Every structure is written in structure tokens, then in C-alpha cells.
Structure 1
């Protein structure tokens, strides 16, 4: 078991890769009463075309199947796993993103028992055609709920423009039509391909004795048999810059128009994990410098009524894609998009990008980071969602402090390309 001490945050991380390939991370925090466990597979909604385990040809599965599989994992022949966690004094949940599926529990009692329940239920699939059919109605209602959510539709509107071929533009839950095609056999195909221990990470944080906890996990895994690990082959459509849809719009039952401006990342990213994390953090700092709520650009646009306090932005970087989006409500959405684009493309002339502002924002980013470490949920979720090779969540302070003004201009030069811009507008139904 490897042990890493992070001096800046005074934390000790234990890590071990088991013989079956499962990566285990333990972070003892014995001044907490709670323990939080997260079991994650590197499999999400975009992984809909791949070579199944034991086969040689690519297969395409229905959209939304990763999310559907997540729902079905809790239902077993002997009953509902949620009830079992409840009886053991724990709460449980799960979530699916574009690239990951995670199962979790939180408890102050019977930690070992709940941890073994988490591992065992995720490693014991049970699907029948009857239970699959029943689930379609439940997930269909969830899909329809999101279809009525204007901000959700706005976000997927810009993804549809930026990634018209890539499965990223498809709702994580799929569509009512796509989930209707899912069979129990499809679920087993996806499960056996992507839920192999070698494609998974187990992270436990909170009150524990790490040596005892790791031994429990070792014994649990040694008692089970798994197929030999195989290299995963995923396939994504090839996309060109010319595929980007420059502008589109939608009418919905809303009271004020909305806009969103997106930028698709197309430049080659650093391969080394630490440099990749540096790129991501430098991009976040660039966006704060240009349009953060303390920037002069934001205050000017806000005071002139071009944007309001609904305005926000985010930068997403994950396996096989990265992009930024900026948006909110606006009485004149096209004018708002024009102004945001003007700020972005003229970044070289922007006096806000200076040493003094960068130092302030780095301090703010560090402060927010240290504050977030009080939450076990934040630590577990961010750690497992953001593995940059050997570089982890706990290397962030050092990486943040290393970012210089030249790094900000370097990431801006590679990312802010006008041909990679797109807009999506939403208007009230007439």
C-alpha cells in the first residue's frame, strides 16, 4: 500500500492497485464521524460505440444506456439495495456523467458492512426483461422532466451545435425512443465490458483505520473471480471544425429570452497529467479574469443591462472533449452574445489580464479549494472525477501556485479561435 503525505493540506492518501486491476484510494479523516465511499467506473453516456468484451467488432448500443444501467444496478432478485443500506444506517445514491458512473454511500455506523455492500452490489448485476421494461416508464418520466427544464435544454442546445456528430450532444438519460430499445442483454454487454475492476476506482474518505480497511477490500476482491482484463476500445465519430453549427434557436414556455455562447476546444492537449491539470486551471483563471463577477467587463455589461445576475460560465475538460460556455437570461440575447464574444476575442488587448489580478484570483481559487476540503462528498467526487494520471486533487494548491501570466496567454491563444464559436438562443413561445 503506497502512502503519500500532502504537506500543504496535511493529508495522508493511501493507494493500492489490486491484482484484478481495481485502484483503491483511502483518505483517513478521523476527526470526522462520517465515512463516505464512492465506487466509480470509467464509463458514461458518451460510450455508446465500443468493442464488447470477448468480441472483435464494434457495436453500437442505445443512447442513455449507461444511465439506465446505473438505475438497474440497485434492483436485485432479493430486493432493493437502497433498503439494505437504510437498514445498516447508511444513505446511498448514484449518478452518471458523460464519462463516469459512480455509486456511493455515506454513514456514521457499520462502515465495513456498508462498504462491502457497496462493492458487492456493484459487482453483482441482475437484469431481466421484465424489470428492464418496468424501468423504461420511470426513466421516460425523468427524461420528460428534463425536457421541460429550460436551462438543461439551453446547455444541450449549445452542445448540439458544437458536437453535432459526437455523442456528447445527446442527453445523458437518452431519449424516450432510445431507451425503448434497451434489452437485458444490452445491459449485460455494457456491464461486462465496462464494469471490470481494472476500469474502476474505489475511494473511501472519513473515519477509518486504513490498514484494516484495505485488508477488508483485498479479501473481498480475492474471494471473487473476474475475466482477464482487456484493453477497452471505444469509437467516436471524427469531427471537423466545419461541422460546428454556428447558430440555432428554440422556443420554450419561458418568460425571458436566454442565450449561450460556446467554444469548442480543438487544439492538442498536454498528455502529461500535471500539465493537463495546469491547462484546466489556467483556463478557469482566464475566464475569471475576463468575465468573472469582479472583472470590469462583467460590471460594465451588468450595469448597462446587457447581462443580469443569471449570467455564468464554465469550462469542461474530460476524456475526448473540452469546451467552454457562457450564458444566461437577456432581454436582447444576440447583443449579449455579441458583447461576450467581443470580450473573448479581444483578450490580448484586455488590461484586466495582469499580474495583480492573477495573484488575487489564484488566492481566491486556493481559498475556495481549502474550504471545499471540509466536505467529504466534495473530496470523493472531485478526486474520482478528476484523475490526471498520477496527479490528483491534492496536487492542486501546488499547481495553482505555479501558474504564471504567460500560461494564461498560452491557453487563450490555443483555445479562443473564432471559427470554434457557436451560439444558441431560446425565446418565449409566441
Structure 2
């Protein structure tokens, strides 16, 4: 077991790679009553085409299978795993993203038993044809529910207008039709390929003794047999840097339109820290201009183009990246044109040293406050780890950013052929 010491933050993380390849990270917070554990596999909705372990030819599985698999792991032959956690006084959950699937719990007691339960249920799959067929109806209902939500439709509609071929354009849950194609054998194929311990990370944070917890995890893993794992071969279609559609829209039963402006990011040449720097700079620049205290936000608000639903986000990950801005508006066309014009104008604008110093201080403050949350630490540490970045090294990276970095980033950021507009319009 190795101790990683971060003097600037007065934090220590204990790490060890188990003999089967599982990477374990422990953060002791004895002042906390709660403990949070998250068990994550580097496998998400975009991983549709791959070479199964033990096979020579690649396969393409149905859309939404990673999310489907997440649901099915909680169901065993004789019980529902949620009940196991409830009996131990824990709250359990799971989520699937574009690139990861995670299983988690939080509890204030019986932590050792909860950690064992987390490891054991994820590492012991059970799928039957009957239970798979039953789950299709449940997930189809979930998909239809999201299809009725304007915010969700505008988010994925924007991504679909940006991406032509990449599976990031597909709803994480898949479609009602695609999940009907999923079989028990498909689930086992995906599980055996992506749920090997060497493709997974366990992070436990809270009121724990690191030495005792690590020994318990070693003992848990030593009881299980896993074959040696070759590197996973994943395949993604070639995607143009340009957006698939410069504009698209749908009509829904809404009283107020929604306008979203998407910027398709080029992450093809970025490694771990470069990806982090791009994510930080994008977030800081958008916050400076488009947050409620920003110059652009005030201008849009005064002109009655936006309300307090206006928001923005940037997501940069392996294989894809995008920025989305927008919200409710009574003037969808005008808002789209104004936001596009503002984004293009960033090249001509220069952020002063004084303003940039303020931006960095704000970012540092947000980051330091977030470190009070066990969930934030565990989730983000795991996320950044898969990208080759250490969460606790984010602070020095923020401190190292300069106005020159911001200028250089903006220079290559906004291009007309990488911008797409998506609108949700009221039905006539």
C-alpha cells in the first residue's frame, strides 16, 4: 500500500493495485460520520463496438446495453441487492455515463460489510432470459419518460446535431427498439469484457482505517478467480470535426421554446492534463461571460432573450467533447444568433490580468468547497483517474493557468463549422 501525500491540501490517499489488477484508493476522513464507496468500470454507453475477450473479431452490441447491464447487476437469482444494502443501513445507487458505469453506497455503520457487499454483487453477475425480457419493459418505460422531458430532449438533440456517427449521439439508455435486441448472452459478453478488475477502480472515502480497509479488500479479492486480461480493443467511427447539422429542431407540448447552442470540441490530440486544462479554461471563460454576473448574461437578460433557466456546461472525455449553452426563451432564433455572435467575439476580446486572477480565485474557491463532499472527491477522483489525471493535482494546474493560455485556447476554440443550434419549439 502506497500513501500519496498532498501537502498543499493536507490530504493523503492510500492506493494499491490488487493482484487481479483492481485499483483501490482510500481516503480517511475520521471527522466524517458518513463513508462513501464507489466501484467504477471504465465502460460506458459509447463502447458499443469492441473485440470480446477470447474472440478475434469485433462485435457491435445494441445501443443502451451498458445502462441495461447496470440495472441487471442488482438483480440476483434469489433477491434484489438493494435489500442487502438496506439491511446494512446503507443507501445504494448506480449510474451509467458515456464512458463509465458506477455502483455506490453511503452509510454511517457496518462499513466493512457494505464494502464487501458492493464488491461481491458487482463481481457476481446473474442474467436469465426471463429477467432480461422483464427488464426490457421497465427500461422502455424509463426511456419514454425521458422522451417526454424537454430538457433531456434539448440536451441530446444538441449532441445529435453535433455528432453524425459517434455513439455519443445515442441516448445512454438506448432506444425502445434497441433494447429489445439485448440478449442474456450479450450481457455476459459485455460483462466479461469490461468488468474485469483490471478495468475497474474502487474508491472508499470517509470514517475508515486505511490499513484495515485495504486488508479487507485484499482478502475479498483473493477469494475470487479472474483470468489474466489483455488490453480491451474498442472501436469508434471516424467523426468529422464539423457538426453534423448547423441547425435542427423538434416540436413538443411546451409553452416556452428552448434554444441550445452546441460547440463540438476537438479532443483528438489532447492527453490527460491537456484535457484537464482545456476543461478548466472553457469553464472559466464561460463563467466569466455567461454566468449571472457576466457581461453577456446581463446583455441577454436585459434584451429579454433569456431567464434564469439559462445555463452552460462543457464535457470533455475520451473520444468526444462538447460545450452546450442555452435555456428557455421567447425568441429562439434571436437568442441563437446572439449567442453565436458572442462566442465568435471572444477572439477579439482579451481578459485582463486582473480579471483572470479573479477568475482563478473563483475556480479555486469552488474546487476547495467541493472537496468538502465525499461524493465529489470519490466520483471526480475516479473520473480523472481514467483520463490519467490526479484530482488532487487539479489545484496546481489551476494556479499555473495564464492569460496567454486563455487567449491561445479561445483562438482555436470557436469555429463556425463546429457550432450547432437545437431548438425545442411549442406545438402549433
TM range (shorter): over 0.9
Provide structure 1 residue ranges, at least 5 long, that are not aligned to the other structure.
none
TM-score, normalised by the number of residues in structure 2: 0.97
Report how far residue 5 of structure 1 moved.
Answer: 1.3
Deviation at 1:143, TM superposition (A): 0.4
Q: Does 1:105 align with 2:105?
A: yes
Change (3 A) 1:126 1:27: same
Assess if the C-alpha contact under 8 Å between 1:50 and 1:58 holds in 2.
Answer: yes
The correspondence of residues 80-159 of structure 1 with structure 2, limited to 5 A, is 80-159=80-159
Contact 1:261–1:337, Cα closer than 8 Å, also in 2: yes
1:268–1:71 distance in 2 versus 1, CA, 3 Å: closer
Deviations 1:184-235 (A, max 9, x none): 1100000000000010000000011101111111111111111211111111
Partner in structure 2 of residue 334 of structure 1:
333
2:406 to 387, 405, 408: 408
1:319 has 2:318 as partner: yes
Shift of 1:183: 0.7
Summarize deviations over 1:214-273 as a string: whole Å, max 9, x none.
1111111111111211111111111124562111110001001111111111264332x3
Residue 23, structure 1, aligned to residue 23, structure 2: yes
What SS is found at the alignment partner of 1:76? coil
Distance 2:111 2:243 in 1: 50
Provide the rounded CA distance (Å) in 1 between the counterparts of 2:285 and 2:162: 21
Q: Deviation at 1:4?
A: 1.2
Secondary structure at the residue paired with 2:307? coil
Report how far residue 179 of structure 1 moved: 0.6
Q: Note the alpha carbon deviations across 1:371-410, whole angstroms, 9 max, x for none.
A: 1111111111111122265531111211111110011112
Output the TM-score relative to the length of structure 1: 0.97
Q: How does 1:335-354 map to 2 (within 5 A)?
A: 335-351=334-350, 353-354=351-352
Give deviations 1:265-311, integer Å, cap 9, x for gaps.
1264332x333322211121121223222121211111111222111
Q: Pairwise CA RMSD of aligned residues?
A: 1.3
* Residue ranges of structure 2 left out of the alignment (5+ in a row): none
Q: Is the 8 A contact 2:203 2:382 kept in 1?
A: yes
Q: Which residue of 1 aligns with 2:420?
A: 422
Q: Is the 8 A contact 1:276 1:388 kept in 2?
A: no
Please tell me whether the aligned partners of residues 261 and 326 of structure 1 are also in contact (alpha carbons under 8 angstroms).
yes
Q: Alpha carbons of 1:348 and 1:241: their partners in 2 closer, same or farther (altered >3 Å)?
A: closer
Aligned equivalents of 2:308, 2:91: Cα separation in 1: 35
3-state SS of the aligned residue for 1:161? helix
SS of corresponding position for 1:349: coil
* Alpha-carbon distance between aligned partners in 1 of 2:275 and 2:59, rounded to the nearest angstrom: 31
Aligned residues: 428
Give the aligned partner of residue 173 of structure 1: 173
Q: 2:32 maps to what in 1?
A: 32
